[in-house]
Structure 1
Amino acid sequence: MKKLLFLLVAIPILLLAACTGGSESQPEGGNAEGNEGGGSGSADQTLTYASTSDAPGLSPIDTNDSVSSHVIEQVYETLFKRNAETGEIEPLLAKSYENPDDNTWVIKLKEDIKFHDGTPFNAEAVKYTFETFLDPERAAPRASLLAPVESIEVKDEYTVVIKTNKPYGAMLAALSHSNASIVSPEADKSGNLNENPVGTGPFKFVSWEKGNEIVLEKNADYWQGEPTLNQVTFKVVPSVSTAISMMETGEVDFIDGVTSQHTSRLEGNGSINLIKKEGTPVYYMGFNMEKEPMNNPEFRKALAHAIDRDAYVESLNGLGVRSNSFVGPQVFGYDESAEDLGYSYDPEKAKQIIEENGFGDQTYHMLVANRDMYINMAEIAQAQLSEVGINVEMEMIEWGTFLDMTAEGNFDLTFLGWSNVTGDGSELLYPNLHTDNLGSSNRTRYSNKEFDELVVKSRTTTDQEKRKEYLAEANALAIKDAPWVPMHHGVVTAAVVDSVKGLELSPTGSWRLYKVSRE
């Protein structure tokens, strides 16, 4: 019997001091069990985060987007977490696990933890969460995370047994994903978690004024110790420029997803700290593979040749990594040989293919979310496609509507991103490109039997070296088929006013505010 026992150790990640050269600082009273006592001198322990989009929802079961996840990760918790510095998977709500065989996961849970509504966190809550997550009637958009799970059993109050129909090499990575957060069964049965979230995390939901702001307050009874911040506000603003202006006037304390056109403004402000970290996100132009001529490989090849991605990444001023690979350099399963694949910038070749096939005879619908990074990509691509004879009509829409329309296939071309919260290549390729997920997370509607088989193999072996081999093969096949044109792999960014200390920014682009304080 293989048995692994982990101890959860809180390791402060002092990013801000590293960026500014100032003295290192952590929330007052911080220790391995949390920040007991709360407060940090006389500073106002509130924080306002600004985003250009409102969250579509606040339930980990019913959402699948980064805007929602930023709130969810403060309110809810998972059984396991990925250490932001080492990349290793560590227990969070779990205490330990063991594998009596390749298809069985016996997970011991931490005791004496309560949800925000006062109900107990236990094995029954885990069972309820995962069974609800997998219920076809609930139609959880990220149900693919636990697709191999066959049953969830309660062995005793604090032991849950998960059985899979095949070995699942990415199980711990899946259980560290924010969409696998454990919810209060009572709250889910009696209310609407999308409107009123109830988890075990360091912050509790207070209010949501749609289109304006979401307010959280500290969970004074948090099992790791009381947070230092008393209140967190998620503010919806029209643009990143507006958010920066609000930072300069003291209305906003924190933004993320900073784009290249704003870095010089931020770096020139001595009261704002800019954090950068090479990360796991991938951003790409996607084709609707169920429509003509997007389902024609020659069309996709022509458009891939038409876009100067080298110049595009150079314009990001260090906030993007150029790569032909779908699986990025910071993701498990990346193989450097993938950089020799794909389609290089060759506008003459693009024009030739377009002319030979008559692809320039119609106008294409490009759907774009109203977020600065996607708008920038779309405008550059639109101009370059025009130069080779492809006419594109751009429609820019609000984030939640964008997610609905792309899920329904109401586009020809679009720009998408995947933060890859698990940091695992299987959990990039399976949800986004496997046939199982057509109509949900597979928004480009790619379907290839050979690719599907390789991805399944990467998920159904626990031999990590074999997993890498399968992922490299699947990745190479997808690059050749080009349902995506990878624009860049992310350098995750955040900007905070200099009074904010202790922000933990993960390579996945996620962050948690538990150890944040104000000075």
Structure 2
Amino acid sequence: AARYAFDYKGIAEDLMHGQFAVQQNFLPVGFNGALTDQPYSYDPQKAAQILKDAGIKNPHFKLAVSNQPPYLDIAQALQASFAKAGIEVELIPGVSSQIATDVKAHKYESTLTAWGPDYFDPHTNASAFAYNPENGSKTLAWRANWHIPALNKQTLQARSETDAVKRTETYQALQRQVRESSPFVIGLQNKKLVALRDDVQGYVQGITPEMVFYKNVTKSE
């Protein structure tokens, strides 16, 4: 139901004015194997019907969120979009460090947060969203208390797969499973806005800082 109560385009385009793009998969656009299809759209009536069919009356939950922009702004927009589906969202603003501590201690109902890759390989995010080994690794899946033995095995298989096509297919399968049955509602991908003067040529913005090569940049006089 939450996936249909999220006003993806309204937040990305109207609220954030293009600073974010809609992305419903744990791999960001630009990474090998990243899915770009968007199976969910804002449909509060459908969300409400799902809850009704499940016998859930007066749905409500607490959402812990950083009191810094843009998190609180997005959280308030979600509060409004969920309300149209009959879902009451109680915002719990706080200092980012304290919220992170509470999440890691499993002292929260839900939280709004951002996640960034550590290196340019799909395993960096797969190991966070689709991996929670029994010994506990403090991954996002662990923080969500989501036990996923089958996906753990799949994630490790993808990491060690030497066939490029099979590796990509495995990461795509992982993304589909996470977006369909996980406790994560992934909705947005941050966009870095770059301003260039007309006389600067050859600049290409890489998806990570180390992928920007200034040696190719020239400036006309």
Indicate yes or no: 2:56 matched with 1:359: yes
Task: Indicate whether 1:465 and 2:151 are aligned.
Answer: no
Does the residue aligned with 2:113 lie in a helix, a strand or coil? Answer: strand
Structure-2 change in CA distance of 1:330 and 1:378 (3 Å): same
Shift of 1:407: 0.9
Q: 1:353 to 1:509 in 2, by over 3 A?
A: farther
1:454 is aligned, of 149, 154, 164, to: 154
Matches of 2:38 and 2:80, distance apart in 1 = 26
Give, in whole Å, the separation in 1 of the partners of 2:91 and 2:12.
Answer: 21
Q: Does 1:491 align with 2:171?
A: no
Q: Is 1:344 aligned to 2:41, yes or no? A: yes
Q: CA separation of 1:476/1:492 partners in 2, compared to 1, >3 Å: closer, same or farther?
A: same
TM superposition outliers: structure 1 runs of 4+ over 4 Å: 509-512
Task: Check if 1:399 corresponds to 2:102.
Answer: no
How big is the alpha-carbon RMSD for the aligned residues of Structure 1 and Structure 2? 2.7
- Please name the residue that 1:275 is paired with: none
Q: Report 1:106-117 matches (<5 A).
A: none
The letter for the 2-side match of 1:471 is: Y
Task: Identify the structure with the greater strand proportion.
Answer: 1
Tell me what 1:415 maps to. 112
Change (3 A) 1:366 1:311: same
Aligned match of 1:440 in 130, 138, 156?
138
Cα distance in 1, alignment partners of residues 211 and 31 from structure 2? 18
Deviations 1:41-77 (A, max 9, x none): xxxxxxxxxxxxxxxxxxxxxxxxxxxxxxxxxxxxx
Match of 1:314?
13
TM-score after normalising by structure 2: 0.79
More helix by share: 2
**Displacement of 1:408 after TM fit?**
1.2
CA pair 446-381 structure 1, distance change in 2 beyond 3 A: same
Cα contact 2:132–2:139 (8 A) shared by 1: no
TM-fit CA distance, 1:324: 2.5
1:236-258 Cα distance to aligned partner (Å, 9 max, x none)? xxxxxxxxxxxxxxxxxxxxxxx
Amino acid at match of 2:152: D
Structure 1: give runs of 5+ residues left out of the alignment. 1-301, 496-503, 513-519
Taking a change above 3 Å as real, the CA distance of residues 451 and 350 of structure 1, as seen in their structure-2 partners, is same
For the 8 Å contact 1:421–1:510, the answer to whether it is kept is no
| DSSP 3-state at the match of 2:186 | strand
What is the alpha-carbon distance in structure 2 between the residues aligned to residue 487 and residue 355 of structure 1?
24
What letter is aligned with 2:5? A
**Paired residues for 1:130-169 under 5 Å:** none
Number of the residue aligned with 1:478: 178
Once residues 210 and 101 of structure 2 are traced to their aligned partners in structure 1, the CA distance between those partners, rounded to angstroms, is 23
The equivalent residue for 1:329 is 29
Q: Give 3-state SS (helix, strand or coil) of 1:394's partner.
A: strand
Q: Which amino acid aligns with 1:440?
A: K
Evaluate the alpha carbon distance shift between residue 439 and residue 379 of structure 1 in structure 2; reply closer, same or farther with a 3 A threshold.
farther
- How far residue 494 of structure 1 moved from its aligned partner, in angstroms, is 7.6
Q: Deviations over 1:136-167 (max 9, x none)?
A: xxxxxxxxxxxxxxxxxxxxxxxxxxxxxxxx
Q: Distance in 2 between the 1:494 and 1:409 partners?
A: 38
Rg comparison, structure with higher value? 1
Instruction: Tell me by how many angstroms 1:511 deviates.
Output: 11
Aligned to 2:219: none
**Could you tell me how far apart the structure 1 residues matched to 2:79 and 2:102 are?**
20
Amino acid at match of 2:119: T
CA contact (8 A) 1:367 1:411 kept: yes
CA distance in 1, matches of 2:167, 2:27: 13
Counterpart of 1:385?
A: 82
Q: Does the 8 Å CA contact 2:26/2:129 hold for their aligned counterparts? A: no
Please give the alpha-carbon distance, in whole angstroms, between the structure 1 residues aligned to 2:49 and 2:106. 29
Cα separation, 1, equivalents of 2:56 and 2:103? 23
Q: How far apart are residue 413 of structure 1 and its match?
A: 1.6
Query: Does the 8 Å contact 1:368/1:374 carry over to 2?
Result: yes
Equivalent in 303, 318, 322 of residue 2 of structure 2: 303
CA distance change for structure 1 residues 432 and 358 in 2, over 3 Å: closer, same or farther? same
- Deviation, 1:330, is 1.4
Deviations 1:215-238 (A, max 9, x none): xxxxxxxxxxxxxxxxxxxxxxxx
Rounded to whole Å, the distance in 2 between the matches of 1:401 and 1:439 is: 20
Matches within 5 A, 1:70-219: none
Q: Tell me the number of residue pairs that the alignment of Structure 1 and Structure 2 aligns.
A: 200
For 1:413 and 1:359, the matched residues in 2 are separated by 18
Q: 1:363 to 1:473 in 2, by over 3 A?
A: closer
Q: Percent identity?
A: 21
Quote the offset at 1:412 in angstroms.
Answer: 1.5
Q: Report SS of the residue matched to 2:117.
A: coil
Structure 2 unaligned segments of length 5 or more: list them.
Answer: 196-203, 213-221
Q: CA, structure 1 residues 421+465, in 2 after alignment: closer, same or farther (shift >3 Å)?
A: same
User: Which amino acid counterpart does residue 207 of structure 2 have in structure 1?
Assistant: P
